[in-house]
Structure 1
Amino acid sequence: MIRAAFASAACCALLAALAGCGSVTQLRPKEGMSEVPQAANAQKRETPGQLMQPSTQAQPSRQADLLTKSVERQDDPFDLPPGPENGKTGN
């Protein structure tokens, strides 16, 4: 009984100590370290907040959801039949 109470108190103390370890301040480079370098073709240096925002290429805005109703497909001009060699090369 006493051992369980001691283990519970030790666990609570450990959790309280770990909860106090986190820091909520702005991140800054250490002394001697430079800021974020400027990209080669960039007009100005990006801020850390801008670097944390995913680009459109990384997170496209289009929806790739399944169709919810049947719709007639438009003619695809690039949907061509294979050529006489059926895509094979002369090996």
Structure 2
Amino acid sequence: MKRFLLLLPALALGACAQTADLEPAAGETLPPAPYGAAEPLDAEELLELDPQAAPERSVELRRESEEREDDPFDLPPER
């Protein structure tokens, strides 16, 4: 019974996900259009990350058996 009572709030929070489109708060507007743009961006365009904020993962992985180059900044701690 205790498990059910502990699980109930988690299920309730999981069921309250927002499915509607994002809109500005009452009395607020979206940010102005970027320099050079004809019209302001909508909410979905504002949520897209630019490549610098979310770079693609490099597929080149090092293997443990590879020799690594010396790192001049890998110094022992000062005493």
TM-score by length of 2: 0.51
8 Å contact kept, 1:36–1:48 = no
1:13 Cα shift?
1.2
Instruction: Please tell me whether residue 17 in structure 1 is matched to residue 12 in structure 2.
Output: yes
Distance 1:60 1:22 in 2: 28
CA 1:60–1:43: 2 relative to 1, 3 Å: farther
Larger radius of gyration: 1
Q: Which has the higher contact order (CA 8 A, sep 6+)?
A: 2
Distance 1:54 1:30 in 2: 22
What runs of 5+ residues in structure 2 fail to find an aligned partner? 61-79
Q: C-alpha root-mean-square deviation of aligned residues, in Å?
A: 2.8
Distance 2:59 2:25 in 1: 45
Structure 1 vs Structure 2: percent identity of aligned residues? Answer: 17
What runs of 5+ residues in structure 1 fail to find an aligned partner? 1-5, 67-91
Aligned pairs, how many? Answer: 59
| 2:71 alignment partner in structure 1 | none
Which residue of 30, 38, 55 maps to 2:33? 38
Distance 1:54 1:12 in 2: 34
1:8 Cα shift?
0.7
1:42 Cα shift?
2.1
Distance 1:11 1:39 in 2: 48
